[in-house]
Amino acid sequence: MQTELQKTERELKIRNYSSKTIKSYLYGLREYFSFKSCDYTKLDQENMRDFLLNCERRKISPQSRNLFLNAIKFYYQNVIKNSQKIEIQSAKKPKSLPVVLSRSEIEKILQIPPNTKHKLLLSLAYGAGLRVSEVIALKVQDMDLEEMTLHIKQAKGQKDRISVLPEKLVDNLKNLIVGKSGNDLLFESERGGKLTTRTAQKIFEKALHLSGIQKKATFHSLRHSFATHLLENGVDIRYVQELLGHQNIRTTQQYTHVTNPKLKNIKSPL
């Protein structure tokens, strides 16, 4: 098993897959190999279906099952070089609306952290529509305080993009970077070095808890709220798509279901 996993890891790295995707694919493939137990290199579609059914019975989410399937397909197509088409459809994912915080809820959350750096981290994540992995990776040189822009480098899908820098954060950001060089991280950990995504998530979770807001929000809800509030302000959806770095406009369109003013203006007949 280990030999096949190493071959897969090598191929993923050659193709410049992200470290997160590599980790996820290897985990999924390890799960499948453990289920298969032998003859790993033999493509057996019935065995794959049995594995995915077993995952469903174990209450593994459709998203994770689809990831496992993608990992298996990558292994047989790109590592084993088997040209046989794997005719197994992805699991249907439940369609749910993103959890969006109102402007007043955002304001309440951003006022809570006593640590100025923590408050600034959450404020920038919301104000620029950043993923947690993006905000902790920001460097001083990624900010253009004159043009009021942020350069997000090698984000999801290994793509760069430009986002807006909130004007009201400029003074605090200037104070934060005093004595730092361009290559220094914007938000360093207490011991120096990069903050972990979990640390950033805990900062948000603590602020959410202390705010008393009952929504099942996560750090990513800051990004959802950024997109929703821009659309409510009348910003064209194409610009919102570009700021978020969405490849497909349909991903951005999910926010139109949350912001639809015609629906919100309907009065219940009760």
Write out pLDDT tens, residues 15-63. Answer: 998 888 999 999 999 999 999 999 999 999 999 999 999 999 999 999 9
Position 265 pLDDT exceeds 90: no
Statement: residue 144 has pLDDT above 90: yes
- 225 confidence band (pLDDT: 50, 70, 90): very high
Q: Is the pLDDT assigned to residue 154 strictly greater than 80? A: no
Tell me the C-alpha distance between 90 and 65, whole Å.
8
Q: Are strands 143-144 and 159-164 parallel, antiparallel or unpaired?
A: unpaired
- Which domains occur in the chain, in start order? 2-79 (1.10.150.130), 103-264 (1.10.443.10)
Which residues are part of the catalytic machinery?
131, 156, 220, 223, 246, 255
The Cα–Cα gap between 207 and 57 comes to 36
> Is 70 exceeded by the pLDDT of residue 261?
no
Average predicted confidence (pLDDT) for the chain: 92
Torsion angle, alpha carbons of 164, 169, 175, 181, to 10: -10
**Cα distance between residue 188 and residue 16, in whole Å:** 27
Give CA–CA dist 220/99, Å, rounded.
9
Q: What whole-number distance in Å separates Cα of residue 80 and Cα of residue 33? A: 14
pTM attached to this predicted model: 0.78
Instruction: Please give the pLDDT value at position 173.
Output: 94
With cut-offs at 50, 70 and 90, classify the pLDDT of residue 259: confident
Rounded to whole angstroms, the Cα distance separating 216 from 205 reads 10
